[in-house]
Amino acid sequence: MELKMAVVGSKSFISHLHTKYAEKTWNETFKLVRRCMDKSRGDTKPCESLIRCLKILHEALNVSSLSTMVSRLEIIAKQRGMGSHLSPTETTCYLTADMFYLEVLLLPGGGVEDIKLAQHGEAPVSSESLLQLLKSKKFEEFSVKLEGLSSLYNIPGDNETKIKVYTALQFLGKDLQKISHLPRPLRECNLQVDMILNGRIGYLMAGREGIPMTIQYYISPSDILLEMSESERGSVGRVALVTVEPTDSTHKLQMASVIPQPPQLDAQGLPLFSPLCEGLSEMMPACFQLKLQPPLPMLSSFVEKLSQITDVAIADADLQWAPFPQLMMNLLGENGGDKTWDGQDAHFLVPLPGREIHSYVLPGAAWEEASLRGALVSTIPFTHPAHVPALLELLRHQCAINTLLASCITSHRPSPGPVCDLHCEVLPESGSRLSVTFHLSDSDSLSVLLVNVADSRQLTCSLFAAGSEDPSMDEYISRVLKRCMSIPVTMRALNGRMSKRTCGEPLPACSSTADGSPAPLPMSCEADASLSSGSGLESDGIPTTPSTAAMFSQDAMGPEAESAFYLSVATSVCY
Protein backbone atom coordinates (compact mmCIF):
# COMPACT_ATOMS: atom_id res chain seq x y z
CA MET A 1 0.00 0.00 0.00
CA GLU A 2 2.85 2.39 0.88
CA LEU A 3 4.58 1.57 -2.43
CA LYS A 4 1.37 2.35 -4.35
CA MET A 5 1.02 5.72 -2.61
CA ALA A 6 4.68 6.55 -3.35
CA VAL A 7 4.14 5.86 -7.06
CA VAL A 8 1.01 8.03 -7.10
CA GLY A 9 2.90 10.83 -5.32
CA SER A 10 5.72 10.64 -7.84
CA LYS A 11 3.32 10.88 -10.78
CA SER A 12 1.62 13.87 -9.14
CA PHE A 13 4.99 15.60 -8.71
CA ILE A 14 5.94 15.03 -12.36
CA SER A 15 2.54 16.34 -13.48
CA HIS A 16 3.09 19.45 -11.37
CA LEU A 17 6.48 20.04 -13.04
CA HIS A 18 4.97 19.55 -16.50
CA THR A 19 2.25 22.11 -15.69
CA LYS A 20 4.68 24.62 -14.19
CA TYR A 21 7.13 24.61 -17.10
CA ALA A 22 4.77 23.91 -20.01
CA GLU A 23 4.89 27.52 -21.16
CA LYS A 24 8.65 27.94 -20.74
CA THR A 25 10.76 28.46 -23.87
CA TRP A 26 13.83 26.31 -24.63
CA ASN A 27 16.15 29.21 -23.84
CA GLU A 28 14.55 29.70 -20.41
CA THR A 29 14.95 25.98 -19.71
CA PHE A 30 18.63 26.14 -20.68
CA LYS A 31 19.17 29.11 -18.38
CA LEU A 32 17.48 27.30 -15.49
CA VAL A 33 19.66 24.20 -15.88
CA ARG A 34 22.82 26.32 -16.17
CA ARG A 35 21.90 28.25 -13.02
CA CYS A 36 21.54 24.97 -11.17
CA MET A 37 24.93 23.83 -12.48
CA ASP A 38 26.61 27.09 -11.46
CA LYS A 39 25.35 26.97 -7.88
CA SER A 40 28.14 26.43 -5.34
CA ARG A 41 28.30 22.84 -4.12
CA GLY A 42 30.32 20.90 -1.61
CA ASP A 43 32.44 19.20 -4.29
CA THR A 44 34.05 20.74 -7.36
CA LYS A 45 32.81 18.16 -9.87
CA PRO A 46 29.95 19.23 -12.17
CA CYS A 47 26.58 17.62 -11.51
CA GLU A 48 26.49 14.64 -13.87
CA SER A 49 22.70 14.40 -13.94
CA LEU A 50 22.34 18.07 -14.89
CA ILE A 51 25.01 17.73 -17.57
CA ARG A 52 23.16 14.74 -19.05
CA CYS A 53 19.92 16.73 -18.90
CA LEU A 54 21.44 19.70 -20.69
CA LYS A 55 23.03 17.42 -23.28
CA ILE A 56 19.66 15.84 -24.07
CA LEU A 57 18.10 19.28 -24.40
CA HIS A 58 20.83 20.41 -26.78
CA GLU A 59 20.48 17.29 -28.93
CA ALA A 60 16.75 17.91 -29.20
CA LEU A 61 17.30 21.45 -30.47
CA ASN A 62 18.95 22.37 -33.76
CA VAL A 63 21.89 24.75 -33.50
CA SER A 64 20.53 27.64 -35.53
CA SER A 65 21.59 30.72 -33.56
CA LEU A 66 24.62 32.20 -31.88
CA SER A 67 23.25 31.52 -28.39
CA THR A 68 22.53 27.84 -29.05
CA MET A 69 26.01 27.31 -30.52
CA VAL A 70 27.57 28.96 -27.46
CA SER A 71 25.42 26.80 -25.17
CA ARG A 72 26.52 23.67 -27.02
CA LEU A 73 30.19 24.61 -26.73
CA GLU A 74 29.76 25.35 -23.02
CA ILE A 75 28.29 21.94 -22.25
CA ILE A 76 31.07 20.20 -24.24
CA ALA A 77 33.65 22.16 -22.24
CA LYS A 78 32.02 21.14 -18.94
CA GLN A 79 31.94 17.49 -20.04
CA ARG A 80 35.70 17.61 -20.67
CA GLY A 81 36.54 19.52 -17.48
CA MET A 82 37.41 22.70 -19.39
CA GLY A 83 36.45 26.31 -18.87
CA SER A 84 34.60 28.49 -21.37
CA HIS A 85 33.83 32.16 -21.84
CA LEU A 86 32.77 34.64 -24.52
CA SER A 87 34.83 37.56 -25.74
CA PRO A 88 33.49 41.06 -24.90
CA THR A 89 32.22 41.36 -28.48
CA GLU A 90 30.50 37.95 -28.18
CA THR A 91 32.04 36.86 -31.50
CA THR A 92 34.59 34.42 -30.08
CA CYS A 93 34.06 31.55 -27.65
CA TYR A 94 37.14 30.39 -25.74
CA LEU A 95 37.44 26.79 -24.50
CA THR A 96 40.29 26.73 -21.99
CA ALA A 97 42.36 24.08 -20.22
CA ASP A 98 45.54 24.32 -18.17
CA MET A 99 47.84 23.59 -21.11
CA PHE A 100 45.92 24.63 -24.23
CA TYR A 101 42.92 26.60 -25.42
CA LEU A 102 40.64 26.92 -28.45
CA GLU A 103 39.38 30.10 -30.09
CA VAL A 104 36.05 29.49 -31.85
CA LEU A 105 35.21 32.43 -34.14
CA LEU A 106 31.42 32.58 -34.42
CA LEU A 107 29.04 33.94 -37.05
CA PRO A 108 25.77 35.73 -36.14
CA GLY A 109 23.58 32.85 -37.33
CA GLY A 110 25.32 30.25 -35.15
CA GLY A 111 27.86 29.19 -37.75
CA VAL A 112 31.60 28.89 -37.20
CA GLU A 113 34.07 30.95 -39.20
CA ASP A 114 37.33 29.53 -37.85
CA ILE A 115 38.83 27.53 -34.98
CA LYS A 116 42.32 28.19 -33.67
CA LEU A 117 44.21 25.83 -31.38
CA ALA A 118 46.95 27.14 -29.10
CA GLN A 119 49.01 24.52 -27.28
CA HIS A 120 51.32 25.46 -24.43
CA GLY A 121 53.96 27.97 -25.49
CA GLU A 122 52.74 28.06 -29.10
CA ALA A 123 50.80 30.66 -31.10
CA PRO A 124 47.19 29.87 -32.09
CA VAL A 125 46.96 27.93 -35.36
CA SER A 126 43.83 27.37 -37.44
CA SER A 127 42.55 23.79 -37.29
CA GLU A 128 40.72 22.67 -40.42
CA SER A 129 39.65 19.31 -38.98
CA LEU A 130 38.09 20.86 -35.85
CA LEU A 131 36.43 23.53 -38.01
CA GLN A 132 34.83 20.93 -40.28
CA LEU A 133 33.48 19.00 -37.29
CA LEU A 134 31.67 22.06 -35.94
CA LYS A 135 30.51 23.17 -39.38
CA SER A 136 29.02 19.70 -39.87
CA LYS A 137 27.59 19.87 -36.32
CA LYS A 138 29.38 16.66 -35.36
CA PHE A 139 29.55 17.67 -31.71
CA GLU A 140 30.29 14.18 -30.34
CA GLU A 141 33.35 13.82 -32.56
CA PHE A 142 34.43 17.35 -31.62
CA SER A 143 34.15 16.41 -27.95
CA VAL A 144 36.28 13.29 -28.52
CA LYS A 145 38.96 15.48 -30.14
CA LEU A 146 39.03 17.66 -27.02
CA GLU A 147 39.44 14.54 -24.90
CA GLY A 148 42.44 13.56 -27.04
CA LEU A 149 44.01 16.96 -26.53
CA SER A 150 43.49 16.73 -22.77
CA SER A 151 45.06 13.26 -22.67
CA LEU A 152 48.35 14.70 -23.96
CA TYR A 153 48.73 16.41 -20.57
CA ASN A 154 47.45 13.56 -18.41
CA ILE A 155 50.05 14.13 -15.72
CA PRO A 156 49.19 14.65 -12.04
CA GLY A 157 50.68 17.64 -10.31
CA ASP A 158 50.81 21.37 -10.71
CA ASN A 159 51.09 23.28 -13.97
CA GLU A 160 54.87 23.57 -13.61
CA THR A 161 55.21 19.77 -13.59
CA LYS A 162 52.86 19.43 -16.56
CA ILE A 163 54.86 22.01 -18.51
CA LYS A 164 58.12 20.16 -17.84
CA VAL A 165 56.67 16.81 -18.89
CA TYR A 166 55.20 18.32 -22.05
CA THR A 167 58.56 19.95 -22.82
CA ALA A 168 60.31 16.57 -22.44
CA LEU A 169 57.81 15.00 -24.85
CA GLN A 170 58.39 17.80 -27.38
CA PHE A 171 62.18 17.33 -27.31
CA LEU A 172 61.75 13.56 -27.63
CA GLY A 173 59.67 14.10 -30.75
CA LYS A 174 62.26 16.43 -32.27
CA ASP A 175 65.06 13.91 -31.64
CA LEU A 176 63.03 11.09 -33.18
CA GLN A 177 62.53 13.29 -36.25
CA LYS A 178 66.31 13.84 -36.45
CA ILE A 179 66.98 10.09 -36.27
CA SER A 180 64.33 9.46 -38.93
CA HIS A 181 66.08 11.85 -41.35
CA LEU A 182 69.54 10.27 -41.05
CA PRO A 183 70.79 8.72 -44.33
CA ARG A 184 70.47 4.96 -44.86
CA PRO A 185 70.36 2.56 -47.83
CA LEU A 186 66.98 1.81 -49.41
CA ARG A 187 65.70 -1.78 -49.48
CA GLU A 188 62.27 -1.31 -51.13
CA CYS A 189 61.23 0.61 -54.24
CA ASN A 190 58.19 2.06 -52.47
CA LEU A 191 59.55 4.74 -50.15
CA GLN A 192 56.73 4.57 -47.60
CA VAL A 193 56.92 0.77 -47.36
CA ASP A 194 60.69 1.06 -47.00
CA MET A 195 60.33 3.57 -44.16
CA ILE A 196 57.81 1.35 -42.37
CA LEU A 197 59.81 -1.87 -42.63
CA ASN A 198 63.38 -0.58 -42.51
CA GLY A 199 63.41 2.98 -41.16
CA ARG A 200 65.18 3.40 -37.83
CA ILE A 201 62.05 5.12 -36.52
CA GLY A 202 59.60 3.56 -38.97
CA TYR A 203 57.22 5.86 -40.85
CA LEU A 204 56.95 8.86 -38.54
CA MET A 205 53.89 11.13 -38.50
CA ALA A 206 53.99 14.30 -36.42
CA GLY A 207 51.37 14.80 -33.71
CA ARG A 208 48.40 17.00 -34.48
CA GLU A 209 45.19 18.16 -32.79
CA GLY A 210 44.97 15.63 -30.01
CA ILE A 211 46.66 12.79 -31.92
CA PRO A 212 50.16 12.06 -30.55
CA MET A 213 53.17 11.46 -32.76
CA THR A 214 52.56 8.17 -34.57
CA ILE A 215 55.05 5.55 -35.77
CA GLN A 216 53.99 2.97 -38.35
CA TYR A 217 56.54 0.21 -37.77
CA TYR A 218 55.31 -2.91 -39.60
CA ILE A 219 53.15 -3.83 -42.57
CA SER A 220 52.71 -7.32 -44.02
CA PRO A 221 52.46 -8.10 -47.75
CA SER A 222 48.75 -8.86 -47.37
CA ASP A 223 48.28 -5.47 -45.62
CA ILE A 224 49.99 -3.79 -48.58
CA LEU A 225 47.63 -5.53 -50.99
CA LEU A 226 44.59 -4.54 -48.93
CA GLU A 227 45.79 -0.94 -48.92
CA MET A 228 46.13 -1.12 -52.72
CA SER A 229 42.70 -2.63 -53.32
CA GLU A 230 40.77 -0.72 -50.64
CA SER A 231 42.09 2.83 -50.63
CA GLU A 232 39.26 4.00 -48.38
CA ARG A 233 40.50 1.76 -45.53
CA GLY A 234 43.16 4.28 -44.60
CA SER A 235 46.36 3.25 -42.88
CA VAL A 236 46.85 -0.47 -42.21
CA GLY A 237 49.57 -2.38 -40.41
CA ARG A 238 51.04 -1.83 -36.96
CA VAL A 239 51.40 1.60 -35.37
CA ALA A 240 52.67 3.00 -32.07
CA LEU A 241 51.66 6.30 -30.48
CA VAL A 242 54.45 8.24 -28.74
CA THR A 243 52.98 9.47 -25.46
CA VAL A 244 53.90 10.22 -21.87
CA GLU A 245 52.22 8.70 -18.82
CA PRO A 246 52.38 9.29 -15.06
CA THR A 247 54.36 6.80 -12.97
CA ASP A 248 54.67 6.03 -9.26
CA SER A 249 58.45 6.44 -9.39
CA THR A 250 60.49 9.25 -10.94
CA HIS A 251 62.52 8.94 -14.15
CA LYS A 252 65.22 11.06 -15.71
CA LEU A 253 63.73 12.64 -18.87
CA GLN A 254 65.40 14.97 -21.34
CA MET A 255 64.75 18.72 -21.17
CA ALA A 256 66.70 19.48 -24.36
CA SER A 257 67.84 17.69 -27.49
CA VAL A 258 70.35 14.91 -26.78
CA ILE A 259 71.57 14.70 -30.39
CA PRO A 260 74.46 17.13 -30.96
CA GLN A 261 74.63 19.01 -34.25
CA PRO A 262 76.00 17.90 -36.59
CA PRO A 263 75.28 14.33 -35.45
CA GLN A 264 78.09 11.80 -35.17
CA LEU A 265 77.06 8.28 -36.22
CA ASP A 266 78.09 4.91 -34.82
CA ALA A 267 78.72 1.73 -36.82
CA GLN A 268 74.96 1.04 -37.08
CA GLY A 269 74.25 4.51 -38.46
CA LEU A 270 72.65 5.74 -35.24
CA PRO A 271 73.66 9.06 -33.64
CA LEU A 272 75.93 9.29 -30.63
CA PHE A 273 73.79 10.80 -27.87
CA SER A 274 74.79 13.38 -25.30
CA PRO A 275 74.62 12.06 -21.72
CA LEU A 276 71.57 13.02 -19.68
CA CYS A 277 73.47 15.36 -17.39
CA GLU A 278 71.90 17.84 -14.99
CA GLY A 279 71.49 20.58 -17.58
CA LEU A 280 69.86 18.32 -20.17
CA SER A 281 67.48 16.33 -17.98
CA GLU A 282 65.30 16.37 -14.91
CA MET A 283 63.70 13.77 -12.65
CA MET A 284 59.95 13.62 -13.25
CA PRO A 285 57.00 11.46 -12.10
CA ALA A 286 56.41 10.30 -15.67
CA CYS A 287 57.72 8.05 -18.41
CA PHE A 288 57.59 8.05 -22.21
CA GLN A 289 55.45 5.29 -23.71
CA LEU A 290 54.84 3.55 -27.02
CA LYS A 291 51.12 2.74 -27.17
CA LEU A 292 50.73 -0.15 -29.60
CA GLN A 293 47.67 -0.12 -31.85
CA PRO A 294 46.47 -2.77 -31.99
CA PRO A 295 48.07 -4.47 -28.96
CA LEU A 296 50.72 -7.00 -29.98
CA PRO A 297 50.92 -10.65 -28.82
CA MET A 298 54.50 -11.15 -27.63
CA LEU A 299 56.36 -14.20 -26.41
CA SER A 300 57.70 -14.05 -22.85
CA SER A 301 61.31 -13.96 -24.09
CA PHE A 302 60.53 -10.90 -26.22
CA VAL A 303 58.81 -9.14 -23.31
CA GLU A 304 61.97 -9.67 -21.24
CA LYS A 305 64.06 -8.14 -24.04
CA LEU A 306 61.86 -5.02 -23.99
CA SER A 307 62.79 -4.40 -20.35
CA GLN A 308 66.46 -5.13 -21.06
CA ILE A 309 66.48 -2.38 -23.70
CA THR A 310 64.78 0.28 -21.58
CA ASP A 311 65.70 -0.67 -17.98
CA VAL A 312 62.02 -0.06 -17.21
CA ALA A 313 59.93 -3.12 -16.38
CA ILE A 314 56.46 -3.58 -17.81
CA ALA A 315 54.12 -4.03 -14.85
CA ASP A 316 53.23 -7.71 -14.56
CA ALA A 317 49.70 -6.70 -13.57
CA ASP A 318 49.28 -5.30 -17.09
CA LEU A 319 50.20 -8.66 -18.67
CA GLN A 320 47.89 -11.67 -18.83
CA TRP A 321 49.95 -14.71 -19.79
CA ALA A 322 48.46 -17.40 -22.02
CA PRO A 323 49.54 -20.01 -24.59
CA PHE A 324 50.64 -18.11 -27.68
CA PRO A 325 48.15 -19.71 -30.14
CA GLN A 326 45.33 -18.64 -27.81
CA LEU A 327 46.50 -15.01 -27.99
CA MET A 328 46.67 -15.18 -31.77
CA MET A 329 43.25 -16.80 -32.10
CA ASN A 330 41.64 -14.29 -29.74
CA LEU A 331 43.20 -11.36 -31.58
CA LEU A 332 42.17 -12.71 -34.98
CA GLY A 333 38.67 -13.52 -33.75
CA GLU A 334 39.08 -17.18 -34.69
CA ASN A 335 38.46 -18.75 -31.28
CA GLY A 336 34.72 -19.12 -31.60
CA GLY A 337 34.19 -16.54 -28.86
CA ASP A 338 36.04 -18.66 -26.29
CA LYS A 339 38.35 -16.84 -23.90
CA THR A 340 40.49 -19.86 -23.05
CA TRP A 341 42.27 -22.50 -25.06
CA ASP A 342 41.58 -26.03 -23.86
CA GLY A 343 45.09 -27.17 -24.78
CA GLN A 344 43.82 -29.52 -27.47
CA ASP A 345 45.16 -29.52 -31.01
CA ALA A 346 43.97 -26.47 -32.97
CA HIS A 347 42.94 -27.47 -36.51
CA PHE A 348 42.40 -24.99 -39.38
CA LEU A 349 41.64 -25.19 -43.09
CA VAL A 350 43.24 -22.59 -45.37
CA PRO A 351 41.60 -22.04 -48.80
CA LEU A 352 43.95 -21.13 -51.63
CA PRO A 353 43.58 -20.30 -55.33
CA GLY A 354 42.71 -23.09 -57.74
CA ARG A 355 40.28 -24.48 -55.14
CA GLU A 356 43.27 -25.83 -53.25
CA ILE A 357 42.78 -26.43 -49.51
CA HIS A 358 45.47 -26.96 -46.89
CA SER A 359 45.04 -28.36 -43.41
CA TYR A 360 47.13 -26.90 -40.56
CA VAL A 361 47.34 -28.37 -37.05
CA LEU A 362 48.91 -26.62 -34.05
CA PRO A 363 49.52 -29.43 -31.51
CA GLY A 364 48.32 -28.35 -28.07
CA ALA A 365 51.00 -30.16 -26.06
CA ALA A 366 53.85 -28.58 -28.03
CA TRP A 367 52.49 -25.03 -27.67
CA GLU A 368 51.70 -25.38 -23.94
CA GLU A 369 55.36 -25.11 -22.85
CA ALA A 370 56.06 -22.31 -20.38
CA SER A 371 58.74 -20.78 -22.62
CA LEU A 372 56.15 -20.37 -25.38
CA ARG A 373 53.62 -18.45 -23.33
CA GLY A 374 52.95 -14.87 -24.26
CA ALA A 375 50.98 -11.77 -23.38
CA LEU A 376 49.14 -9.03 -25.20
CA VAL A 377 51.37 -5.94 -24.90
CA SER A 378 49.66 -2.57 -25.31
CA THR A 379 52.20 -0.12 -23.82
CA ILE A 380 55.99 -0.05 -23.63
CA PRO A 381 57.60 2.44 -21.20
CA PHE A 382 60.97 4.01 -22.05
CA THR A 383 63.03 7.05 -21.05
CA HIS A 384 65.41 7.88 -23.92
CA PRO A 385 65.15 8.34 -27.72
CA ALA A 386 67.98 5.81 -28.15
CA HIS A 387 65.59 3.10 -26.96
CA VAL A 388 63.12 3.56 -29.83
CA PRO A 389 65.09 2.06 -32.78
CA ALA A 390 65.94 -1.07 -30.75
CA LEU A 391 62.34 -1.40 -29.53
CA LEU A 392 60.99 -1.12 -33.08
CA GLU A 393 63.38 -3.80 -34.35
CA LEU A 394 62.18 -6.14 -31.60
CA LEU A 395 58.53 -5.36 -32.38
CA ARG A 396 59.12 -6.02 -36.09
CA HIS A 397 60.77 -9.33 -35.24
CA GLN A 398 57.73 -10.38 -33.21
CA CYS A 399 55.39 -9.14 -35.96
CA ALA A 400 57.17 -11.32 -38.53
CA ILE A 401 56.68 -14.40 -36.34
CA ASN A 402 53.04 -13.47 -35.70
CA THR A 403 52.36 -12.91 -39.41
CA LEU A 404 53.64 -16.38 -40.29
CA LEU A 405 51.65 -18.03 -37.52
CA ALA A 406 48.51 -16.03 -38.33
CA SER A 407 48.66 -17.21 -41.94
CA CYS A 408 47.80 -20.71 -40.68
CA ILE A 409 44.86 -19.55 -38.50
CA THR A 410 41.51 -19.06 -40.24
CA SER A 411 37.81 -19.27 -39.45
CA HIS A 412 37.55 -22.50 -41.47
CA ARG A 413 37.39 -25.69 -39.40
CA PRO A 414 37.51 -29.33 -40.56
CA SER A 415 34.19 -30.68 -41.84
CA PRO A 416 33.06 -33.75 -43.80
CA GLY A 417 32.91 -31.79 -47.07
CA PRO A 418 36.34 -30.44 -48.07
CA VAL A 419 39.15 -32.74 -49.18
CA CYS A 420 42.54 -31.28 -48.27
CA ASP A 421 45.35 -31.19 -50.81
CA LEU A 422 48.07 -30.87 -48.17
CA HIS A 423 48.15 -31.72 -44.45
CA CYS A 424 50.66 -29.81 -42.30
CA GLU A 425 51.61 -29.74 -38.63
CA VAL A 426 53.15 -26.52 -37.28
CA LEU A 427 55.48 -27.01 -34.31
CA PRO A 428 57.53 -24.48 -32.32
CA GLU A 429 61.23 -25.27 -32.27
CA SER A 430 62.13 -22.15 -30.27
CA GLY A 431 60.86 -18.61 -29.84
CA SER A 432 61.88 -17.68 -33.38
CA ARG A 433 61.89 -21.04 -35.19
CA LEU A 434 58.98 -23.07 -36.55
CA SER A 435 58.84 -26.42 -38.27
CA VAL A 436 56.17 -27.50 -40.74
CA THR A 437 55.81 -31.27 -41.07
CA PHE A 438 53.92 -32.43 -44.17
CA HIS A 439 53.37 -35.37 -46.47
CA LEU A 440 53.43 -35.16 -50.26
CA SER A 441 51.10 -37.44 -52.21
CA ASP A 442 53.92 -38.88 -54.33
CA SER A 443 56.17 -39.66 -51.34
CA ASP A 444 56.17 -42.45 -48.78
CA SER A 445 57.87 -40.40 -46.06
CA LEU A 446 57.24 -37.22 -44.11
CA SER A 447 59.03 -34.00 -44.99
CA VAL A 448 59.92 -31.10 -42.70
CA LEU A 449 60.34 -27.43 -43.55
CA LEU A 450 62.32 -25.58 -40.87
CA VAL A 451 61.62 -21.83 -40.77
CA ASN A 452 64.11 -19.62 -38.93
CA VAL A 453 63.13 -15.99 -38.26
CA ALA A 454 66.39 -14.33 -37.19
CA ASP A 455 64.69 -10.94 -37.43
CA SER A 456 62.01 -9.31 -39.56
CA ARG A 457 64.31 -9.22 -42.62
CA GLN A 458 66.31 -12.41 -42.18
CA LEU A 459 64.06 -15.41 -42.81
CA THR A 460 65.56 -18.69 -43.97
CA CYS A 461 64.01 -22.05 -44.79
CA SER A 462 65.60 -25.50 -44.74
CA LEU A 463 63.85 -28.46 -46.36
CA PHE A 464 64.39 -31.97 -45.00
CA ALA A 465 62.83 -34.45 -47.42
CA ALA A 466 63.74 -37.76 -48.98
CA GLY A 467 65.70 -37.21 -52.18
CA SER A 468 65.92 -33.42 -51.79
CA GLU A 469 69.53 -32.92 -52.84
CA ASP A 470 68.83 -29.75 -54.83
CA PRO A 471 70.90 -27.03 -53.07
CA SER A 472 68.83 -24.27 -54.70
CA MET A 473 65.56 -25.45 -53.11
CA ASP A 474 66.24 -23.86 -49.69
CA GLU A 475 67.15 -20.56 -51.33
CA TYR A 476 64.02 -20.70 -53.48
CA ILE A 477 61.69 -21.39 -50.54
CA SER A 478 63.32 -18.65 -48.45
CA ARG A 479 62.76 -16.12 -51.23
CA VAL A 480 59.12 -17.08 -51.60
CA LEU A 481 58.54 -16.84 -47.84
CA LYS A 482 60.15 -13.38 -47.64
CA ARG A 483 57.93 -12.11 -50.45
CA CYS A 484 54.59 -13.40 -49.18
CA MET A 485 55.13 -13.88 -45.40
CA SER A 486 52.60 -16.73 -45.55
CA ILE A 487 53.25 -20.36 -44.67
CA PRO A 488 50.31 -21.71 -46.76
CA VAL A 489 51.37 -19.75 -49.86
CA THR A 490 54.97 -20.90 -49.36
CA MET A 491 53.84 -24.52 -48.97
CA ARG A 492 51.75 -24.18 -52.13
CA ALA A 493 54.79 -22.91 -54.04
CA LEU A 494 56.98 -25.67 -52.55
CA ASN A 495 54.43 -28.35 -53.42
CA GLY A 496 54.23 -27.09 -57.01
CA ARG A 497 58.00 -26.92 -57.33
CA MET A 498 58.53 -30.45 -56.02
CA SER A 499 55.73 -31.83 -58.22
CA LYS A 500 57.34 -30.31 -61.30
CA ARG A 501 60.71 -31.71 -60.30
CA THR A 502 59.17 -35.17 -59.85
CA CYS A 503 57.61 -34.93 -63.32
CA GLY A 504 60.94 -33.88 -64.82
CA GLU A 505 59.76 -30.42 -65.91
CA PRO A 506 62.42 -27.68 -66.21
CA LEU A 507 62.54 -25.31 -63.23
CA PRO A 508 63.19 -21.64 -64.10
CA ALA A 509 65.33 -19.67 -61.71
CA CYS A 510 63.46 -17.53 -59.22
CA SER A 511 63.61 -13.84 -60.15
CA SER A 512 65.66 -11.64 -57.89
CA THR A 513 67.26 -8.23 -57.76
CA ALA A 514 70.86 -7.47 -58.61
CA ASP A 515 72.07 -8.10 -55.08
CA GLY A 516 70.40 -11.50 -54.92
CA SER A 517 67.50 -10.39 -52.74
CA PRO A 518 63.95 -11.35 -53.72
CA ALA A 519 62.08 -9.18 -56.18
CA PRO A 520 60.16 -6.28 -54.60
CA LEU A 521 56.95 -6.77 -52.68
CA PRO A 522 53.65 -6.03 -54.40
CA MET A 523 52.91 -2.28 -54.44
CA SER A 524 56.57 -1.68 -55.28
CA CYS A 525 57.74 -0.64 -58.75
CA GLU A 526 57.06 -3.19 -61.49
CA ALA A 527 55.24 -5.57 -59.17
CA ASP A 528 52.65 -2.89 -58.50
CA ALA A 529 52.12 -2.24 -62.20
CA SER A 530 51.83 -5.89 -63.17
CA LEU A 531 49.23 -6.62 -60.51
CA SER A 532 47.07 -3.62 -61.30
CA SER A 533 47.24 -3.95 -65.08
CA GLY A 534 46.20 -7.60 -65.31
CA SER A 535 49.22 -8.50 -67.40
CA GLY A 536 48.23 -12.11 -67.86
CA LEU A 537 50.91 -13.83 -65.78
CA GLU A 538 49.79 -17.27 -64.76
CA SER A 539 50.04 -19.26 -61.56
CA ASP A 540 49.25 -22.95 -62.03
CA GLY A 541 47.29 -22.06 -65.15
CA ILE A 542 45.18 -19.34 -63.49
CA PRO A 543 45.32 -16.05 -65.43
CA THR A 544 46.13 -12.94 -63.43
CA THR A 545 43.16 -10.75 -64.23
CA PRO A 546 40.78 -8.69 -62.10
CA SER A 547 37.96 -11.08 -63.00
CA THR A 548 39.91 -13.98 -61.51
CA ALA A 549 40.31 -12.11 -58.24
CA ALA A 550 36.58 -11.41 -58.27
CA MET A 551 35.91 -15.11 -58.83
CA PHE A 552 37.85 -16.02 -55.71
CA SER A 553 36.21 -13.30 -53.63
CA GLN A 554 32.82 -14.71 -54.69
CA ASP A 555 33.95 -18.24 -53.94
CA ALA A 556 33.09 -18.02 -50.21
CA MET A 557 36.74 -17.44 -49.38
CA GLY A 558 36.59 -13.78 -48.38
CA PRO A 559 39.40 -11.19 -48.39
CA GLU A 560 42.00 -13.63 -47.03
CA ALA A 561 41.65 -15.84 -50.13
CA GLU A 562 41.79 -12.85 -52.47
CA SER A 563 45.00 -11.67 -50.81
CA ALA A 564 46.37 -15.21 -50.95
CA PHE A 565 45.54 -15.31 -54.64
CA TYR A 566 47.52 -12.16 -55.42
CA LEU A 567 50.37 -13.32 -53.20
CA SER A 568 50.43 -16.62 -55.07
CA VAL A 569 50.59 -14.74 -58.36
CA ALA A 570 53.44 -12.65 -56.96
CA THR A 571 55.44 -15.85 -56.55
CA SER A 572 54.40 -17.26 -59.93
CA VAL A 573 57.59 -15.97 -61.60
CA CYS A 574 59.45 -18.49 -59.46
CA TYR A 575 57.62 -21.48 -60.93
Q: What's the rounded Cα separation, in Å, for the pair 92 and 276?
A: 44
Exposure of 306 by Cβ count < 10 A (0-12 exposed, 13-18 middle, 19+ buried)? buried
Strands 422-430 and 356-362 come out as parallel
Cα dihedral sign, 115-118-123-128 = negative
Measured in whole angstroms, the distance separating CA 139 from the mean position of its chain's CA atoms is 26
pTM of the model as a whole: 0.77
pLDDT tens, position by position, 526-552: 333 333 333 333 333 333 333 333 333
pLDDT tens, position by position, 374-416: 999 999 999 999 999 999 999 999 999 999 999 999 888 877 7
Spatial CA neighbour of 198 closest among 33, 396, 3? 396
Higher local confidence (pLDDT), 207 or 87: 87
Predicted confidence (pLDDT) at residue 451 exceeds the cutoff of 50 = yes
Predicted confidence (pLDDT) at residue 502 exceeds the cutoff of 50 = yes
Q: What's the rounded Cα separation, in Å, for the pair 264 and 425?
A: 49
Rg (CA), the chain: 30
- The per-residue pLDDT for 543 is 32
- The per-residue pLDDT for 50 is 63
pLDDT tens, position by position, 139-191: 989 988 888 888 777 777 788 888 899 899 999 999 999 999 999 988 888 89
Domain ranges of the chain: 36-151, 159-345+364-406, 422-574
Place 121 in a pLDDT band, splitting at 50, 70 and 90: confident
pLDDT tens, position by position, 415-450: 776 688 899 999 999 989 999 999 876 777 899 999
pLDDT tens, position by position, 21-72: 666 666 666 666 666 655 555 555 556 666 666 666 555 556 778 888 998 8
Report the pLDDT averaged over residues 272-301: 93
